[in-house]
Amino acid sequence: MTAPTRYGVMVPNELQVEIAVQDAAGVRIALEGGAARIELCQALGLGGLTPSAGLVEAAVAAASAARTPGFVHVLVRPRGGGFVYDADEIDTIVRDIRQARSLGADGVVVGALTEDGTLDDGAIAAFVAAAEGIDVTVHRAVDASADPLASVGALAGRGVRRVLTSGGGADCRAGLPTLARMVAEVGGALEIMSGGGVRVPDIGELAAAGVDAVHLSARGRDERGGPSGPGGGVDGFDETDAATVRAAVAAARAAARAARPRRPS
């Protein structure tokens, strides 16, 4: 059952939390914190890149041991920068999708644009075909497109399970009204997952916009070991913060409870 929101759309009773993680420790923290799934990647400082085969194997093993199906979704992105890919890069993405599936991933996270800022229909069709039935999420390439609302609507009925979007805004707060329009536009044909600077205090408002899920990295910083080298290396590295994961899951559950119609006394 659902309840109306301030935007005139409906709030689901279950708001899923997806955590972007970069290592096996992050996988365990997301599992223990009650997240619905992870986006497994590396180099979040670049927006996220394809993780190693070893990390995918470790994540799948951890989810299996925890008896948590549908948990491991692998970001497949061969480089930083924009989302216009040449033939070699598209071939690499297709190969990485197939590898992720062969290693037991439950889904992949992909996206591609053309030079004119529209979705690359041919590339996305190739990605869906390579996934061979596991979940496909289209990432925030839609937010970099010329018309994010139209891009999200165009994904319905194309074998894509969900789309990760800020509503075309610099972050989820700026994109909140468009996120609600996206929910209405797809009418349940796609899951709308809000990303882009999501903070725990934002989750209630995002739930009120009718999104199906929220996505955040819940990043902290660990500086053990010092800098990576004298030639310009950085100090420390990202880690997944367990307290933030728990708080995000608790906020999502509270938003879901608040949306449930009260039973007559």
Domain annotation covers residue 177: no
Tell me, yes or no, whether 162 lies in a domain.
no
Domain annotation covers residue 95: yes
Q: Give the number of domains in the chain.
A: 1
Q: Where are the beta strands (DSSP E) in the chain?
A: 3-4, 10-11, 16-21, 37-40, 72-75, 107-110, 135-138, 162-165, 191-194, 213-216, 219-227, 235-240
* Per-residue pLDDT tens over the stretch 33-91: 999 999 999 999 899 999 999 999 999 999 999 999 999 999 999 999 999 999 999 99
Residue for token digits 């008896």?
A: 67
- Quick check: 60 and 100 in contact, CB under 8 A? no
- Supply the pLDDT for residue 12: 45
What are 136-151's pLDDT values in tens digits?
999 999 999 999 999 9
Q: Residue 146: inside a domain, yes or no?
A: no
Rounded to an integer, what distance in angstroms lies between the CA atom of residue 264 and that of residue 262? 6
Q: Is residue 30 part of a domain?
A: yes
Residue 210 near residue 14, CB atoms below 8 Å:
no
pLDDT confidence tier of residue 232, bands split at 50, 70 and 90: low
The pLDDT of residue 237:
72
Please report, for the domain that includes residue 24, its CATH number.
3.20.20.380
**pLDDT in the model for residue 146:** 97
Residue 47 in any domain: the answer is yes
For all residues of the chain together, what is the average pLDDT? 91
Quick check: is 187 in a domain? no
Please check whether residue 190 lies inside any domain of the structure: no
Question: Binning pLDDT at 50, 70 and 90, where does residue 258 land?
Answer: confident
Per-residue pLDDT, 26: 97
Give the residue numbers spanning the domain of 111. Answer: 3-135+197-220+236-259
pLDDT digits (tens, 9 = 90+) for 185-227: 999 999 999 999 999 999 999 999 999 999 999 887 766 666 6
